[in-house]
Amino acid sequence: MLAAGQQAPGFELPDQNGEKVKLSDFKGQWVVLYFYPKDMTPGCTTEACNFQEALPDFKNLKAVVLGVSKDSVERHKKFAEKYNLQFLLLSDAENNVCETYGVWGEKSMYGRKYMGINRSTFLIDPNGKIAKVYSKVKVKTHHQEVMEDLKTLQAAEQTK
């Protein structure tokens, strides 16, 4: 998995509307890049709805939220419409970005091992560097943790 201090690898993926989105489109802004296993599942829905609820606060901090999973553009569109998500959901159907960011790996549920996306978030600074990595995500409070860290990092940046 990538670490804080590294340059965030660039990518181009389609969003829920089929539009191509590049990480470089957000240069000069903070980016909350979160990887999640699957649309319409309980944990992923909670995480997405919490980010949606906090979206005005993230926007006030000049940050964008981008969700990434292997789900198709069509499934992302249904997910976004069902829960009125106003941020971009990116489809990594080929699994290239998940592999690059190191979030694809072995998982275990009910004793069964399988490969999947390990829920992770990367907070990327306006210069494209990874400021913080979250690899152990608690979906109910994750958005608050990211928000607090973003405020702290921005305050530290202003005192430089």
Q: Which residues are catalytic?
A: 44
- pLDDT in 10s for each residue of the chain, 160 residues: 899 999 999 999 999 999 999 999 999 999 999 999 999 999 999 999 999 999 999 999 999 999 999 999 999 999 999 999 999 999 999 999 999 999 999 998 889 999 999 999 999 999 999 999 999 899 999 999 999 999 999 999 888 7
Burial of 159 (0-12, 13-18, 19+ CB in 10 A): exposed
**Cβ(92)–Cβ(23) under 8 Å?**
no
Look at the block and give the residue holding tokens 């599942």. 41
- For the entire predicted model, the pTM comes to 0.96
> Degrees (nearest 5) of the Cα angle 79, 84, 85?
70
Q: What are the distances in angstroms from CA 6 to CA 24, 70, 85?
A: 15, 24, 29
| CATH 3.10.20.600 is held by the domain 12-158 | no
Beta strand spans in the chain (E): 12-14, 20-22, 30-35, 63-69, 88-91, 104-109, 112-117, 120-124, 130-134
Q: For residue 143, how many C-alpha atoms fall within 13 Å in the half-sphere facing its CB?
A: 22
Q: What are phi and psi of 98, to 5 degrees?
A: -60, -45
Helix, strand, coil share (%) of the chain residues, nearest 5: 35, 30, 35
The domain ranges of the chain are: 12-158
